[in-house]
Amino acid sequence: MSIRSIRLAVLVSGRGSNLQAIVDAVRAGRLQASVEVVVSDVADAPALARARAGGIPAAVVRRRDYPSRAEFELALAGAVERARPDLVVLAGFMRLLGPAFLDRFPGRVINIHPSLLPAFPGLEAQKQALEYGVRFTGCTVHYVDYGMDSGAIIDQRVVEVMPGDDGDSLSARILEQEHELLVDVIRRIGAQMKMDEKTGEETGKQMSGAISEGGCVRHGREQA
């Protein structure tokens, strides 16, 4: 049995520009994938409108509707599991996830973060970079573990901090790279899943990045 298009579940909390980048890449034939569901913890997140406009099933699971974090995560996992995804993509999802969710999708949850991790984890990474005075920052796609942006790095893109940059200008340039990087990583993970199915190996292996001579992370490698 060969993997058809990689099935994606995308978790969002905000505008959904990275979701849109995935959808656009699928429509343009640049990404062999299908977005099976978009789930948000924010009922009026603009990303939900993007999903519905594209004919993608959308669901809302709000933290405040559940008495505990674990119960919220179980409900979130249920909304995702019904779509039978190969990969769960956090694309601007603004909550930490713990065992109740992550243990249901081992090795199959990735996140995009606007810094060169492990530098500047958490909120306002662009502001952190400017305040620290770094000359270069960027974005990272990584596997999600129980910590704050602490999972294994898959790939990164470097963005130069320009004189006169403020939070908005730097964020905009990083976001352009996020759109490209996230699609590229999903494409490579999908290719790895296809290869694993052909060879009869178990899917869900993690890939970690390898830094090229130019300082930009370009290629992934399997991690045992």
Residue 113 is among the residues annotated as catalytic for this protein: yes
Q: Which of 113, 142, 179, 219 is catalytic?
A: 113
Cβ(190)–Cβ(205) below 8 Å: no
Residues 70-104, buried b or exposed e (16+ Cβ, 10 A)?
Answer: eebbebbbebbeebebbbbbbbbbebebeebbbeb
Residues marked active site are found at 113
